[in-house]
């Protein structure tokens, strides 16, 4: 079960958007096959069917129109989703670039702290050495 209190990150959003994009692409492939079949069926009717049969002609036209609409709708959704993925990836790159100086600063501070600690240990050892003869 997903954690409802966990804040979504850009990486999570990118992953979800890419999954949705993949589903849309898969559905578009299926819709294109339906479209191709409808066009083929209409063409076969026009070539060899009874052209005076308006009812059958309208059925073929309706199937082609519906399939065309579905493919166009999916194309539009795929374009929009790809733009969303690109936008999220650009935001993530900016976020990473913005944290780079902070990461370098943290490393610098860590190195300086280690130097100070080692110098402190040297000074402490000297102080102990001086204090030993007195005791």
**pLDDT one digit per residue (tens) for the chain, 135 residues:** 455 555 568 889 999 999 999 999 999 999 999 999 999 999 999 999 899 999 999 999 999 999 999 999 999 999 999 999 999 999 988 887 777 777 777 788 888 888 888 888 878 777 777 777 655
* Total count of domains within the chain: 1
Which ranges of 2-135 would DSSP assign to H, the alpha helix? 10-48, 54-134
What pLDDT sits at residue 113? Answer: 87
Range of the domain at 41: 10-99
Query: Is residue 124 situated within a structural domain?
Result: no
77 in any annotated domain: yes
Residue 86 in domain: yes
Residue 21, in any domain of the structure = yes
The number of CA neighbours under 13 Å toward the Cβ of 67 is 20
In a domain, 5, yes or no: no
Does residue 126 fall inside a structural domain? no
pTM of the model: 0.65
**CA dist., res. 88 & res. 9, Å (int):** 10
107 lies in some domain: no
Q: Is 24 exposed, middle or buried (0-12, 13-18, 19+ CB in 10 A)?
A: buried
């Amino acid at each position: 079960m997903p954690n409802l209190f966990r804040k979504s990150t850009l990486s999570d959003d990118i992953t979800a958007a890419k999954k949705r994009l993949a589903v849309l692409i898969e559905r578009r492939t299926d819709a294109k096959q339906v479209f191709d079949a409808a066009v083929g069926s209409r063409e076969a009717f026009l070539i060899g069917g009874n052209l005076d049969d308006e009812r059958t002609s309208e059925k073929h036209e309706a199937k082609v129109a519906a399939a065309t609409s579905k493919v166009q709708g999916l194309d539009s959704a795929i374009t929009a989703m790809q733009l969303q993925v690109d936008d999220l990836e650009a935001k993530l790159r900016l976020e990473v670039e913005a944290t780079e100086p902070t990461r370098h600063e943290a490393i610098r501070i860590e190195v300086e702290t280690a130097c100070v600690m080692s110098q402190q240990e040297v000074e402490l050892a000297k102080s102990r050495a001086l204090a030993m003869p007195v005791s």
